[in-house]
């Protein structure tokens, strides 16, 4: 039997109980139910030093990079801040430059589910577009379904279940696309190219 695909959830905020972080956890739970190995990098784990080209990455960034190197698929998540993604998530992504000369550079060969939240649909959609653009820049394969979630209303009930069945169905489909695509692309991962940008 083939080894399970590995899915890393990257993103969230430093705020305890962050909706973005909880939505990533929802996707990872679904991915695990589909047989994937999952790992979440969120909250304080994202508080990396400001990226400086050429500086040693430090322990926390190394941990994130090693998790991404092992990943077959990635959930990339950010809140919409001021019309884009948050600086916290962007800084973490800048550290992915450490993977530029890997046999599978950056997110090469990896399925990437982009998940954005916002206090309104404008912010969430702007952040989703940015996450997809970054995924392309990093040579990842965005899944067909991306998620732009408006967090203006309550997302979860007191038991921690999603309030909106339509959103739950979107997360089901997104997780299925991510795991399915990760299984397909694993076989062809790594085009053995490097680049200088």
Ligand X SMILES: Cc1cc2nc3c(=O)[nH]c(=O)nc-3n(C[C@H](O)[C@H](O)[C@H](O)COP(=O)(O)O)c2cc1C
Are the beta carbons of 7 and 178 closer than 8 angstroms? yes
How many chain residues interact with ligand X (CB under 6 A)?
Answer: 18
Among 15, 70, 101, 136, binds ligand X (CB under 6 A): 15
**22-61 mask for ligand X (x: CB under 6 A)?**
----------------------------------------
Nearest distance from C-beta of residue 20 to ligand X, angstroms: 3
CB of residue 137 vs ligand X: minimum separation in angstroms? Answer: 22
Among 5, 81, 98, 186, binds ligand X (CB under 6 A): 81
Q: With contacts defined by CB under 6 A, name the span among 52-60, 80-88, 105-113, 166-174 that binds ligand X.
A: 80-88
Q: How far is the CB of 13 from ligand X (least distance, A)?
A: 4
85 and 130 Cβ atoms separated by less than 8 Å: yes
- Beta-carbon contacts of residue 136 (< 8 Å; ≥ 6 apart): 142
Three-class DSSP category at 29: helix
Hey, which residues does 82 pair with through a beta bridge? none
CB atoms within 10 A of CB 164: 14
- Binding residues for ligand X restricted to 112-131, rule: CB under 6 A: 117-120, 122-123
Residue 20 contacts ligand X per CB under 6 A: yes
Among 9, 11, 80, 140, binds ligand X (CB under 6 A): 80
Report the alpha-carbon distance of residue 58 to residue 106 in Å, rounded.
18
Q: Are 115 and 11 in contact (CB under 8 A)?
A: yes
Contact range with ligand X by CB under 6 A, out of 14-22, 54-62, 134-142, 165-173: 14-22
- Of 144, 125, 5, 149, residue with least CA distance to 70: 5
First to last CA, the chain: 38
Q: State the nearest-atom distance from the C-beta of 191 to ligand X, in Å.
A: 34
Verify binding: residue 83, ligand X, rule CB under 6 A.
yes
CA 30 to chain centroid, in Å, comes to 14
Residue 183 sits at φ, ψ, to 5 deg, of: -65, -40
Binding positions for ligand X, rule: CB under 6 A: 13, 15, 18-21, 79-83, 117-120, 122-123, 151
């Amino acid at each position: 039997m083939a080894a399970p695909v590995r899915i890393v959830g990257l993103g969230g905020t430093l705020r305890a109980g962050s909706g973005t972080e909880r939505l990533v956890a929802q996707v990872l739970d679904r991915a695990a139910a589909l047989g994937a190995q999952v790992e979440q990098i969120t909250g304080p784990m994202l508080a990396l030093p400001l990226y400086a080209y050429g500086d040693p990455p430090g322990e926390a960034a190394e941990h994130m990079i090693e998790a991404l190197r092992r990943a077959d698929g990635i959930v990339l998540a950010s809140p919409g801040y001021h019309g884009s993604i948050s600086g916290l998530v962007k800084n973490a992504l800048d550290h992915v430059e450490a993977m530029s000369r890997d046999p599978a550079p950056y997110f090469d060969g990896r399925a990437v589910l982009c998940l954005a939240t916002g206090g309104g649909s404008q912010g969430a959609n702007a952040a989703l577009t940015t996450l997809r653009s970054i995924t392309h820049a990093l040579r990842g394969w965005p899944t067909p379904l991306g998620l732009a979630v408006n967090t203006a209303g309550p997302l979860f009930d007191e038991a921690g279940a999603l309030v909106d069945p339509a959103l739950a169905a979107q997360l089901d489909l997104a997780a299925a696309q991510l795991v399915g695509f990760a299984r397909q692309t694993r076989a062809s991962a790594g085009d053995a190219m490097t680049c200088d940008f």
